[in-house]
Amino acid sequence: MTVVVLGGGLAGVACAHKLGDEGVDVVLVDRNDYHQFQPLLYQVATSQLPAEDIARPHRTIFRDYPSVEVVTAHVEEVSLADRTLRLADGRTLAGSHLVLAAGSRPNFFGVPGADEHAFPLYSVADAERLRLHLQEQVRAAGSGAAEDDGTLDVVVVGGGPTGVETTGALAELMTAWATTGLTPYRGQITLVDRGDALLGAFNKKAHRYSLEKLSERGATVKLEAGVAAVHVDRVEIDDGTSIRARTVVWGGGESGSAVAQGSGAPTGRGGRVDAQPDLTVEGFPGVYAVGDVANIPDADGAALPQLGSVAQQSGTWAAENILRERHGSGPTPFHYKDKGIMAMIGRNAAVAEVGKGRHQVEGPLAFAAWLGVHASLLSGAHSRTDAFLTWAWDYFDRDHAATVEASSTPKRIAWGDRETDVPHISLDERPTTTTPRQGDRGGATHE
């Protein structure tokens, strides 16, 4: 038995880990040589963490797993019928089982100019591009760029966790730039969303809390407003108004990866592969779909949200179903253990809904919930999570302006990894984007 896993994100790594624990031969394929921890991308983009801290090489993760082979390559074609991958270098990989865990890509919904001018935030490379762009804007402002030309102004599209967390971090960063004298003035951050509330998946109390905290930090929130077009110096709103900004961060939606959409698998909402309750793909024996690439049904048949915990648990469950097949029994339906939903709105501000009744907590208690979930997700990539816990509590507890990389080095998470464990992060390639085949979810959450 050889299992081919396409994608080295939370779902793919969890699947390979579980199979590797049982000595099953696994070939893990990803175009990057590293696993990226998407929930912290916004901190890389706002100079609060170096990119290397949330990107760990796959070979390091699986160093002690002799049955797991890591292949870094671009996949040209996926054949579900015979469970094979054709790579860009001409090789073909085949397995007794194929696990689609190829993740997601930004969905611009056909908005003119968005693909060209907006900065998505779905990968480490995306976060690095945004960080470097913001530094360019700082230099321009310091060199005399006028305040009214939008040099330091930012529009964030999407009021889900990605948009809210990014807006909060950017607002703090703008304050830090201005108070430290790095820029002559403070840029304006505007969050735009089509919905009537921030964090739409949360309850009304969380809607009010997030709006209040972002407003306290100087951000402007524009709800029930859609983006009509994105230009290099402004964003057009569908009510006929426009917002000046030379930086647009796109957190407005995601779609299944291009390689999965071109595989011939049945796709549904968001261009994602429709998984059956046991995570298999209908009509293709031995093929599983997990994580953000898939529409995974819950007990009532509704698709589960694109969350890191869903990705990780589904990857592990797919591995367990493959092991069941190995031992002569059939796969069983996936049962998701809901750990709640949460968002970091800024230092000393977080909101979470936990428990069966989705009890809302705010502030330090919410941050503790955020911390626990993220530490459990990181445990698949790092053997030591105490370094993350120490760093994160320090980040949350310290009441000071965000670190500005232009003037100092961001505080690192002291993982204690080997110096040779360095990911190869390339900014040369910008991923292919898409317009939707069907309606996608508002906001954005990550695998």
Domain boundaries in the chain?
Answer: 2-106+254-326, 114-253
- CB atoms inside a 10 Å sphere around CB 240: 7
- Predicted pLDDT at 434: 42
Four-point Cα dihedral 402, 134, 391, 394, nearest 10: 10
- Predicted pLDDT at 99: 98
Q: From the first residue on, what is the mean pLDDT of each consecutive set of 10 residues in the chain (447 residues)? A: 96 97 97 93 91 93 96 94 95 97 91 96 94 94 88 96 95 88 93 96 93 96 97 96 97 83 85 95 96 93 92 98 93 93 88 84 90 89 85 72 54 77 78 36 32
- CB atoms inside a 10 Å sphere around CB 426: 12
What is 2-106+254-326's CATH superfamily? FAD/NAD(P)-binding domain (3.50.50.60)
Q: Which residues pair with 78 in a beta bridge?
A: 85
Which amino acid, one-letter code, is at 78?
Answer: V
CA 256, 258, 259, 261 torsion: positive or negative? positive
Class of domain 114-253: alpha beta
- The answer to whether residues 92 and 84 touch, using CB atoms and an 8 Å cutoff, is yes
- Predicted pLDDT at 406: 47
Helices (H), 217-305: 258-261
- Predicted pLDDT at 299: 87
Domains 2-106+254-326 and 114-253 in one fold: yes
- Predicted pLDDT at 430: 53
Rounded Cα gap, residues 102 and 409, in angstroms? 33
Rounded Cα gap, residues 122 and 42, in angstroms? 9
Four-point Cα dihedral 277, 281, 282, 284, nearest 10: -150
